[in-house]
Amino acid sequence: MDNAIYTNGLGSARYIVVGNGLDFLPIISFYRGLRLVAEKKVMRLGTEPLITIPYGGCEVTNALQKVDKFLVRPCGKKWDGLFLSTSWYKETVLVGCAETGSRMFFFKVFKHQSIANQEAARMKIIRDLYERWFEIPRVEGVHGRLLVLSYLPRLEWLPPREGRQLLKKALIEMPENSEQQYASLEKLINSMSYRMDSFNKAGVSKSKAMQILEKIKNALRPHIDSYPIQLAHGDMTPWNSYRTTDGRMALVDSERAGFRVRYTDFLHYHAQPRAIARFSFQSPMDYVSELCRSFSLPMNSAVTIVCLYLAEEMVIDLGEIDQGRVSRTLCRAFRRRCSWLESILGSTKNPDMGLAQEGQWEL
């Protein structure tokens, strides 16, 4: 297997090219997978000479051998591939696409087999949720740590406005759960209060963290004990949706699929790009207003949902930090969510916002 590893100066981030794999650059989705400046550097390097480094024995070698075994044994032909190995992807050794004959596949090689099985199950959740409106990759098989998916070649990224409209349509038309499930507000608050050290690692002092928790308790506890949750993609963003070469709307990445507060996917599509951006002048109350306009929600319900969404995102971020996955981007996003939550809770001093009202909220 003739191959070369290309590096772009991003530490452990490497593109691995097999055969004519560079031909896949215009149609791959993970080429935009790196965050912020790192992502832009990678894209600029697509037309510049890349540094070739010796290919040696490592876990990436073993990962490529798994791909090679899957492709060559059934087909007996040479194949072309383009892969990315980077520390930005958490439990993944390698991601990429390969073509043999007329078939193209997308591969993920994980550090543990259990993660591959979990990812396959989450992909089924995404298909069940969104296949009516989006094209979702099929699970072709799980072979130990190797997850094989059908490949959806990218033509172009969806304009944000078009993506928001399609997502809004999906959420309006999506049938209600037959059995409503609920999450405990107390458990959500405790999930943050147990992680004061992680607040500090993200650049939020313990005293500041305590203030945020007190504001959440004072604002939400008088009104709700639990709140309805539903299955969600969990990482619905402009970079996880695109138009394919045959005109379909693709939705990828199931890593964070699971039960979340209602309208999480809609809010995340709006908020996540601004959360990770270096500079953001967006008012968090804009998310509340957009939720009201799009789904005809009363203001108090929209405020509650946005607060719960931000709190759930903070818990997820704290979990990442607990596991040592600390990055400037993650910490910046976490601090921004803290700031947004404080801002919304501060705005609720106005009785018209609904948080000061007595009684249960309709969520």
pLDDT at 226: 92
Question: What pLDDT does 250 receive?
Answer: 93
* Whole-number pLDDT of residue 4: 46
For residue range 146-182, list pLDDT tens digits in order: 999 999 988 888 888 899 999 999 999 998 876 789 9
Instruction: State the Cα–Cα distance between residues 70 and 63, nearest whole angstrom.
Output: 11
Question: What ranges do the domains of the chain cover?
Answer: 3-151, 157-353
Q: Which residue has the tokens 């304009």?
A: 159
Confidence (pLDDT) at 54:
44
| Higher-pLDDT residue of 68, 312 | 312
Q: List pLDDT tens digits, range 137-149.
A: 999 999 999 999 9
Angstrom distance (rounded) from CA 170 to CA 309? 19
Q: In this structure, which topology does domain 157-353 adopt according to CATH?
A: Aminoglycoside 3'-phosphotransferase; Chain: A, domain 2 (3.90.1200)
Closest CA relative to residue 90, chosen from 108, 66, 117: 108
Among 76-90, 280-294, 325-339, the range scoring the smallest mean pLDDT is 76-90
The rounded distance, in Å, linking the Cα atoms of 256 and 254 is 6
pLDDT at 234 over 90: yes
Sheet strands side by side (includes 249-251): 154-157, 241-244, 249-251
Q: Look-up: residue for tokens 């072709």?
A: 140
pTM assigned to the model: 0.85
Q: What values do phi and psi take at 84, rounded to 5?
A: -125, 130
Q: What does the chain come to in residues?
A: 363
Mean pLDDT score, 270-274: 93
Instruction: Give bridge partners of residue 280 from the DSSP assignment.
Output: none
Most confident of 20-24, 70-74, 179-183, 278-282: 179-183
7 vs 122: CA distance, rounded Å: 31
Nearest to 344 by CA among 297, 308, 314: 308
pLDDT of residue 183: 95
Please state, in angstroms and as integers, the Cα–Cα distance from residue 143 to each residue in 120, 124, 130, 149, following that order: 11, 17, 26, 12
Helix locations, the chain, DSSP H? 36-44, 59-75, 113-130, 160-173, 185-193, 196-201, 206-220, 264-276, 285-295, 299-322, 328-347
Of 10-24, 68-82, 215-229, 256-270, least confident by mean pLDDT is 10-24
Q: Taking each helix axis from N to C terminus, what angle separates 285-295 and 264-276, rounded to the nearest 10 degrees? A: 150
Paired tokens of 4: 């070369």
